[in-house]
A and B are shown apart, each in its own frame.
Chain A
Amino acid sequence: MAKQKCVAMLLAGGKGSRLKELTENLAKPAVPFGGKYRIIDFPLSNCANSGIHTVGVLTQYQPLVLNSYIGIGSAWDLDRKNGGVTVLPPYSESSEVKWYSGTASAIYQNLNYIKQYDPEYVLILSGDHIYKMNYDAMLDYHVEKQADVTISVIEVPWDEASRFGIMNTDTDYNVTRFDEKPEKPESNLASMGIYIFKWSILQKYLEMDESNPDSSNDFGKDVIPAMLADNLKLIAYPFKGYWKDVGTVKSLWEANMDLLDDEQDLNLFEYSWRIYSVNPNQPPQIIGSQAEVKHSLVNEGCIIDGAIEQSVMFQGVEVEEKAVLKECVVMPNARIGRGSFIERAIVMSDLEIPENTIIRNSSNDILLVTEQFLAEHVEQQTKVEEA
């Protein structure tokens, strides 16, 4: 294999259990987002746009959808003679099957993959976040600062800092301490889960970590603290721009709604930094003569005959006449029956909402409309009517 300057390792095995039924049959990175994408399109497109063409994608939880989605990487222009995308599932050795027990062990078990390319640097990414970032600029920063490790950080609101892994730094962004979800944060620089390591150092510390029986094999909890303890040069790379962890139904909904906000920084229309995705190859969207489309994102293959407002429609969604959707995210190929009303909800893929289904939501939460939700909801409605 030809030598590569930088190899990216994309951790895509996350279960994302707080996304409830959305991740019942697929891994979190495969969750649909933004009318046509899946979450993993963002790091993969960032790689392609940053000129990083060797990407190992580590899968574990429910990999079928993700594997077939990634294919040979052609959607992201990552089908390369040299490098390209390689899906790296856990595998068995002669003695045992090794599941990826933590982020660090996942990389450890694929050291041979990285070795093939004899890189100088390894970029570790997670498949859980929505953001556009030039990793090449981060790599330049890493080289310029002569760091052993560079960790991308973003300023988060102080009152939310205790939800994140927090980097404490000096004024030159040298990392002095790492606190995982601190109760009383002393900094509001949150780790974005994006690391650039010198390959030689990464290899050494992963081997040390693996031989430590007390380690939980996690970058944030084990590897980074061990490096700090050894006085390696860890530096924070301050990122400015849109970045969102879509770990819950509500945050996934919010991130979709953010796309409708003209003021936010995530511009999907930027030609020079396209977010690529597997094309569903459907005809243009049809907006019917009775339709009202207000402030919404609509993808190809949709047929809209009802009223939609402040909503995101994935490919192949049908909204029948007199149906009304407000602040909804409708996943691919769902059909909203005539006369229905739904607000502040995510509607699951392929779901058929029967005619005249009324789903109101005055709570702060976001409803996840699934087959089961419909069954329970219809039962409730009948009870109300009977009473």
Chain B
Amino acid sequence: MKKSMLGVIDATMLPGEMGDLALYRSPAAIPFAGRYRLIDFVLSNMVNSGVQSVAIFPRSPYRSLMDHLGSGKDWDLNRKRDGLFFFPSPTKEGQLDRMSEHLDYFHRSDQKYVIVSNCTTVANMDFAPVLDRFIKQNCDILEITHKGEPTYIYLLSLDLLLRLIENRHETGYESVQAAIEDEASSLTKCHYEFEGFLKRIRTVDDYYQTSMQLLEKDKWSELFNEFQPIYTKVKDEPPTNYLAGSYVTNAMIANGCIISGEVNHSIVFRAVTIGKNTTIKNSIIMQKSKIGENCVLEHVIIDKDVSVEDGAVLRGTPEKPLLIKKGSVESAVTSS
């Protein structure tokens, strides 16, 4: 029973309104919640639900996504049988078209059911009760909803998925979503309402607001619990060092940081340094960025490897956070 689900993650989402967050990377690989990438949530949910075979359909650029996933070891998916599969499909556009290029994988799998998911949904969800519902209600295709809205996560039988792929030209369906949205189809469609915390990240605003919500304890604890952990690529960072003069409140901080300044209501990823007399509020600082001394950062999203030089002042607004591109250098002069 447990082994009976395949996981399919469609990571072909276009950057769209993700802006510079998806400049060099797949939206699936956007850093999130201090130490994760967006794909970690769906992938961990699958693994925690007993899925042992996961196929990822990426779109270029996918270097950072591949680098993140590696052999799948950190999700316990480096298996002799099953495991993690990466299926690029550079010439095809539609979801079912892409899958048609990798039919061998589906034919070779002996799992009976398939979860088809997008790559940027942030939630901690057990798919086992979803499968129970699917079987009990004799569904052909099940859509998970949240507050009545679609989550773009589906459960169907492998047989049906294969038929959808094979008949895609006759039906005109480009994706599983198209099949469920076709009111004329004869498929038995069901819904499963997910009650917990769930956000689908599609825009910079989604990203910023959802991140800030994680600083509320009740939201945070709906996403992180010890029984269904969210896995991610392991980095060997030391614990974070809070130096004399640091003042940190209401923050989520990853390992490997050296903090001398003030951090309030913010998320700090691993290996970030924050200099003396610097104030950071309502901001997100991604991994390995260096924030100098005497800086002021409010409502900003600092991508990876950014260097903010001493005395720089960077301000966005709650509605429009200022996004600083990966690898850029912000000096006091350019920012004022």
- CB within 8 Å of B: which residues of A? 34-36, 74, 260, 262, 268-269, 274-277, 279, 281-300, 312-313
Contact A281 B239 (CB under 8 A): no
Is there a chain A Cβ closer than 8 Å to B277's Cβ?
no
Pairs A-B, 9 closest by C-beta atoms = A284-B34, A35-B239, A268-B238, A299-B239, A289-B250, A284-B254, A283-B224, A279-B234, A297-B239
* A287 and B249 in contact, given A269-B258, A281-B231 (Cβ under 8 angstroms): yes
Chain B residues near A286 (CB-CB < 8 A): 217, 220, 251-252
Chain B residues near A35 (CB-CB < 8 A): 238-239
Chain A residues near B34 (CB-CB < 8 A): 283-284
List which B214-232 residues lie within 8 A (CB) of chain A: 217, 220, 224, 229-232
Chain B residues near A290 (CB-CB < 8 A): 249
Contact A296 B242 (CB under 8 A): yes
Contact B249 A300 (CB under 8 A): no
Q: Using C-beta atoms within 8 Å of the partner chain, give the interface range for chain B.
A: 20 to 34
Q: Which residue of B lies closest to A77 (CB)?
A: B236
Contact A269 B254 (CB under 8 A): no
Chain A residues near B1 (CB-CB < 8 A): none
Q: Which residue of A lies closest to B268 (CB)?
A: A284
- CB within 8 Å of A: which residues of B? 33-35, 73, 217, 220, 224, 229-232, 234, 236, 238-244, 246-256, 258, 263, 267
Chain B residues near A285 (CB-CB < 8 A): 240, 252-255
Q: Which of B236, B251, B254 contacts A276 (CB 8 A)?
A: B236
* A294 and B246 in contact, given A279-B234, A281-B229 (Cβ under 8 angstroms): yes
Q: Which residue of B lies closest to A296 (CB)?
A: B242
Please measure, in the bound complex, the distance between the C-alpha atom of A293 and the C-alpha atom of B242, giving whole angstroms.
Answer: 7
Please measure, in the bound complex, the distance between the C-alpha atom of A67 and the C-alpha atom of B221, giving whole angstroms.
Answer: 32
Q: Which residue of A lies closest to B263 (CB)?
A: A287
B239, B243, B244, B253 interface centre (most CB from chain A within 10 Å): B239
Known A-B contacts: A276-B236, A293-B248. Give 11 more (CB < 8 A). A268-B238, A282-B229, A283-B220, A284-B254, A284-B255, A285-B255, A287-B253, A289-B249, A294-B242, A295-B244, A298-B242
CB distance from A34 to the nearest CB of B (A): 7
Q: Which residue of B lies closest to A302 (CB)?
A: B239
Q: Which residue of B lies closest to A45 (CB)?
A: B236
Q: Which residue of A lies closest to B259 (CB)?
A: A293
Contact B240 A269 (CB under 8 A): no
Please measure, in the bound complex, the distance between the C-alpha atom of A72 and the C-alpha atom of B33, giving whole angstroms.
Answer: 31
Q: Which of A276, A279, A291 contacts B249 (CB 8 A)?
A: A291
CB distance from B16 to the nearest CB of A (A): 27
Please measure, in the bound complex, the distance between the C-alpha atom of A260 and the C-alpha atom of B35, giving whole angstroms.
Answer: 24
Please measure, in the bound complex, the distance between the C-alpha atom of A299 and the C-alpha atom of B255, giving whole angstroms.
Answer: 6
Q: Which residue of B lies closest to A303 (CB)?
A: B217
Q: Which residue of B lies closest to A291 (CB)?
A: B249
Q: What would 19 A/B residue contacts be, using CB atoms closer than 8 Å?
A: A262-B243, A277-B236, A279-B236, A282-B229, A283-B34, A284-B35, A284-B254, A285-B254, A287-B250, A288-B217, A295-B244, A295-B246, A297-B240, A297-B242, A298-B242, A298-B253, A299-B239, A299-B255, A300-B35
Please measure, in the bound complex, the distance between the C-alpha atom of A282 and the C-alpha atom of B231, giving whole angstroms.
Answer: 8
Q: Which of B217, B229, B240 contacts A298 (CB 8 A)?
A: B240
Chain B residues near A288 (CB-CB < 8 A): 217, 249-250
Contact B238 A283 (CB under 8 A): no
Please measure, in the bound complex, the distance between the C-alpha atom of A260 and the C-alpha atom of B272, giving whole angstroms.
Answer: 18
Contact A295 B242 (CB under 8 A): yes
Chain A residues near B224 (CB-CB < 8 A): 283
Chain A residues near B241 (CB-CB < 8 A): 260, 269, 296-297
Chain A residues near B255 (CB-CB < 8 A): 36, 284-285, 299-300
Please measure, in the bound complex, the distance between the C-alpha atom of A280 and the C-alpha atom of B248, giving whole angstroms.
Answer: 24
Chain A residues near B236 (CB-CB < 8 A): 274-277, 279
Chain A residues near B246 (CB-CB < 8 A): 293-295
Please measure, in the bound complex, the distance between the C-alpha atom of A283 and the C-alpha atom of B35, giving whole angstroms.
Answer: 7
Chain A residues near B252 (CB-CB < 8 A): 283-287
Chain A residues near B242 (CB-CB < 8 A): 293-298
* A295 and B243 in contact, given A36-B238, A277-B236, A283-B224 (Cβ under 8 angstroms): yes
Please measure, in the bound complex, the distance between the C-alpha atom of A262 and the C-alpha atom of B244, giving whole angstroms.
Answer: 10
Please measure, in the bound complex, the distance between the C-alpha atom of A293 and the C-alpha atom of B257, giving whole angstroms.
Answer: 14
Q: Which of B33, B249, B250 contacts A283 (CB 8 A)?
A: B33
Q: Which of B35, B232, B234, B251 contacts A287 (CB 8 A)?
A: B251
Q: Which residue of A lies closest to B231 (CB)?
A: A281
CB distance from B34 to the nearest CB of A (A): 3
Chain B residues near A284 (CB-CB < 8 A): 33-35, 252-255, 267
Contact B254 A34 (CB under 8 A): no
